Amino acid sequence: MALTRFSLPALHRVTRDLAAVAMGTQPPDLVIRHARVLSTYTERLLADREIWLRHGRIAAVKPAGTLARNAAAKEYDAQGGILAPGLVDPHIHIESSMVTACAYAEAALLNGTTTIFCDSHEIGNVLGEDGVTMMLEDARQAPLSIFLTVPSTVPATHPGLETAGGDLTPEKVGLLFDQWPEAVALGEKMDFVPVCLGDARSHGLIAESLQRGRPVCGHIYGREFVAAYAASGVTDTHEAIDRDIANDFIEAGLWVFLRGGPPGSPWNSLPEAIGAITAFGANPKRFCICTDDRDAADLFLFGLDWVAREAVSCGLSRETAWSLGSLHPATRYAMDGEIGGLGHSRRADLVLLDDTLTVRNTWYGGELVVEDRKITPLLEAALSQRYRYPRRALETVKLAPGYTLLPSMPAGATQAHVLSLGGAMILTGHEVLAIKPGATLESFVAAHDLVYLTVLERHGKNGSAGHGLLKNFGLKHGAVASSIGHDAHNLIVAGTNEPDMHLAIETIRQHQGAVVIVREGKVLSLIELPVAGLLSEERVTIVAEKTRHFKAQWDAMGCTLAYMGFNLLPLSVIPALRLTDQGLVLVPEMKLVPLFE
């Protein structure tokens, strides 16, 4: 039987048959026996239950032994394990994993995640609405329930501050809502400063969502912006970095998505933000958990099930933590009548857990797709029928000839504006360093232990190049480069010398997208990303292995900022100083500043 996202025969037949099964006048398709049921509605663990399924939906949850043995019904023995609803991730970016939606499904289902809400602003910044449509087609073919929060910030900043491949205007966003039922919300409104200052385009995009009754998702740094941001119609955020701002968000009426990332990474804000519940006593009813960004390797290690376990380690009960990853996100998007709990008539998206909330089995629409931590032949068959991106998505790296990688230091320059890093944090500092009279560019870079940083426009529009200098990056020799320079997704390269930087860029051009590490004229590690310069066409397990090798080489090069954080250095909505293809951007002021003065 093929896997399908939605049910199935005519609706009146489905409801009649579900009622008949619940009444005992028809046999179920499947009975899962001897389970403890995790109720997200009451946050209780119900002992010794059985669950009856029909048409890929839940007909009834009953005490064990209620249904007599029936030859017409298949049976599965849960052997006392915990049966819970499949996880619902309320905010992710598929492109961060560097795999397609069809490939992403494999890792998600292994982790018990059966529904995701993705913001595809990455491919939108490269290919505009055409790219978003491709991602939606990919998502429709994937054996996973995938909904779109329509990209709201393409490009991420004012066009004068960066060059993107796409431009999603309010009118285009409105058409995506009208043409695609999977488009259920407006994606994270990243330009929070313009929103709070009343920018007409930003509020025009918000209006397209609100007038259709769709929620607006958020992205915000700074407690001083919370009131104006919430007043603008935004109703969630995943950027709560501590308990104080999480408390501000929740009191302002926003849903708070507690983001759990790999330990030690900037994405792991849950341990601090959860204090709004555990320390300040906020009711968790408007909190969710989410993953946001994961590379292919971390998909297998730090799925949403891992985030739920982290919430338990931070003080929540198992039942509450799982509810934050299932019923609460479903409720946020007004889909709790379909997913998020084991209520009668809900989709039979189920997981079988042990007492540590580790996923053993996953049922998707009533079909067993993961058993004993391994995918089943049914899922294997579905994964082999993936969506193929058209040729225009495979030819997006269009560099201008004769690009320059190193800046020129003008005669008489007395100071330089430099991006500085503070460990693994994605926030950047802004340092103004004095230039001694007679200093050359090389001597200045060496004296302050800097590396060259360049962003090249790669959409074939204007061939612009932004030059900067980066402090505390840790790279001593060689170059690293990426075609995933958020959010306009131009090429970003950092290095200690021009030949290695050039080889890194040309390697990306050759593969039409990649992340690459180069040293002494040799490519040490490479992940090819031919789809929009963002995604691999390979299976997630293959990309995960390449990613593990890449990260090991990255660490060996001494880089202090993880490569995903490196990709964010052009993201000119994160304070304080960023570099785009147009030059250095002072984020709070949203204006360009010269490298040398």
Whether 562 contacts 550, CB under 8 Å: no
Q: How far apart are the first and last CA of the chain?
A: 67
Q: Quote the pLDDT of residue 7.
A: 46
Q: Give residue-wise pLDDT tens across range 293-336.
A: 999 999 999 999 999 999 999 999 999 999 999 999 999 999 99
35 domain residue, yes or no? no
Between CA 238 and CA 224 the distance in angstroms is 17
pTM for the complete prediction?
0.94
Q: Give residue-wise pLDDT tens across range 406-438.
A: 999 999 999 999 999 987 778 899 999 999 999
Q: Is 269 helix (H, G, I), strand (E, B) or coil?
A: coil
Q: How far is CA 594 from CA 496, 575, 577, in A?
A: 21, 17, 12
426 domain residue, yes or no? yes
- Taking only the tens of pLDDT, the chain with its 597 residues reads 345 554 455 677 899 999 999 999 999 999 999 999 999 999 999 999 999 999 999 999 999 988 776 667 899 999 999 999 999 999 999 999 999 999 999 999 999 999 999 999 999 999 999 999 999 999 999 999 999 999 999 987 666 899 999 999 999 999 999 999 999 999 999 989 889 999 999 999 999 999 999 999 999 989 999 999 999 999 999 999 999 999 999 999 999 999 999 998 878 999 999 999 999 999 999 999 999 999 999 999 999 999 999 999 999 999 999 999 999 999 999 999 999 999 999 999 999 999 999 999 999 999 999 999 999 999 999 999 999 999 999 999 999 999 999 999 999 999 999 999 987 778 899 999 999 999 999 999 999 999 999 999 999 999 999 999 999 999 999 999 999 999 899 999 999 999 999 999 999 999 999 999 999 999 999 999 999 999 999 999 999 999 999 999 999 999 999 999 999 999 988 889 999 999 999 988 889 999 999
Q: Are strands 350-353 and 82-85 parallel, antiparallel or unpaired?
A: antiparallel
306 domain residue, yes or no? no
Residues 6+ apart with CB under 8 A from 390: 134
In terms of Cβ atoms closer than 10 Å to its own Cβ (0-12, 13-18, 19+), residue 402 is exposed
Q: Is 173 helix (H, G, I), strand (E, B) or coil?
A: helix
575 domain residue, yes or no? yes
400 domain residue, yes or no? yes
Whether 232 contacts 196, CB under 8 Å: yes
Whether 16 contacts 59, CB under 8 Å: no
137 domain residue, yes or no? no
In terms of Cβ atoms closer than 10 Å to its own Cβ (0-12, 13-18, 19+), residue 192 is buried
195 domain residue, yes or no? no
Whether 530 contacts 505, CB under 8 Å: no
Tokens of 147: 């909904």
CA dihedral 86, 90, 94, 97 (to 10 degrees): -80
Residue 17 Cα to chain centre, angstroms: 38
DSSP 393: G
Domain count, the chain: 1
443 domain residue, yes or no? yes
**Total number of residues shown for the chain:** 597
Tokens of 550: 């890449």
Between CA 82 and CA 47 the distance in angstroms is 9
Helix axis angle, 101-110 relative to 121-141, nearest 10°? 70
Print the domain residue range for 582: 394-593
